[in-house]
């Protein structure tokens, strides 16, 4: 069974630029999560989708971050404009059985 | 609010047992988890325990849960160099949303 796929794996941008990350969950997984992991910290939940609907986006900085999952499968997370403090690894996870989340390899973002 | 605390570092000799400890604050957590993260990789679900259990064993891994003290531990028997990684404790904050600790970096000395 293929795991959660994410791209790109690495991205370097300058502050005030925009960036987008893509996630393809495990086939059949209805729930999809985006986490932000700052260096030396544990992952922090940004947004949770159930199929193509948002379950919780209370931790998403909506002035600059947006996420969508239009067809209930793939998802994109966008940052516009980026700030220095957005440098982190962005992890996507999916689950079928809700207490088992499977994580992708992450996208490491560096904002200069 | 929810908060998960872990010690940051642990060093053990190959073949010894490792015990990684965690405290959490949300007494209503349904599940508690241990994840492993190797350098440059995502998080791998190692094991989880349902809140009405005291202990769960899975091959070399033993999870102990003390609900009264809100204390969770992960014991790795016969620790190998391949076990070197960062181990994250996490609690279910509701709606299966996970709150993670900062992680414990386990170093295994050959």
Give the list of residues 6+ apart from residue A2 with CB closer than 8 angstroms, or none: A26, A27
Mean pLDDT of the B94-105 span: 88
pLDDT at A2 over 90: no
pLDDT at B95 over 80: no
**Interface membership of B101 toward A (CB under 8 Å):** yes
Contact map slice: B 32-91 vs A, CB within 8 A: 35, 40-45, 48, 88, 90
Contact by Cβ (8 Å): B98, A45:
yes
pLDDT (0 to 100) of residue A47 = 96
Helix (H, G, I), strand (E, B) or coil at A85: helix
Q: A103 and B44: CB-CB below 8 Å?
A: yes
Give the number of other CB atoms < 10 A from CB of residue A3.
15
């Amino acid at each position: 069974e293929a795991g959660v796929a994410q791209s790109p794996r690495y991205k370097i941008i300058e502050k005030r630029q925009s960036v987008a990350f893509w996630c393809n969950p495990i086939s059949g997984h209805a729930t999809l999560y985006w986490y932000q992991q700052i260096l030396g910290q544990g992952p922090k939940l940004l947004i949770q989708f159930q199929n193509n609907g948002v379950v919780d986006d209370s931790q998403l900085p909506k002035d600059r971050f947006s996420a969508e999952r239009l067809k209930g499968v793939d998802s994109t997370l966008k940052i516009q404009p980026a700030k220095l403090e957005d440098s982190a690894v962005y992890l996507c996870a999916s689950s079928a059985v809700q207490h088992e989340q499977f994580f992708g390899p992450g996208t490491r973002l560096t904002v200069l | 609010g929810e908060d998960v605390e872990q010690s940051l570092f642990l060093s053990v000799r190959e073949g010894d047992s490792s015990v990684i400890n965690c405290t959490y604050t949300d007494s209503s957590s349904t599940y508690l988890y241990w994840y492993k993260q190797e350098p440059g990789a995502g998080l791998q679900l190692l094991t989880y325990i349902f809140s009405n259990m005291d202990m769960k064993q899975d091959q070399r891994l033993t999870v102990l849960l003390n609900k009264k003290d809100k204390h969770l531990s992960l014991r790795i028997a016969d620790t190998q160099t391949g076990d070197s990684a960062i181990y994250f404790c996490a609690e279910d904050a509701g709606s299966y949303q996970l709150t993670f600790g900062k992680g414990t970096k386990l170093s295994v000395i050959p």
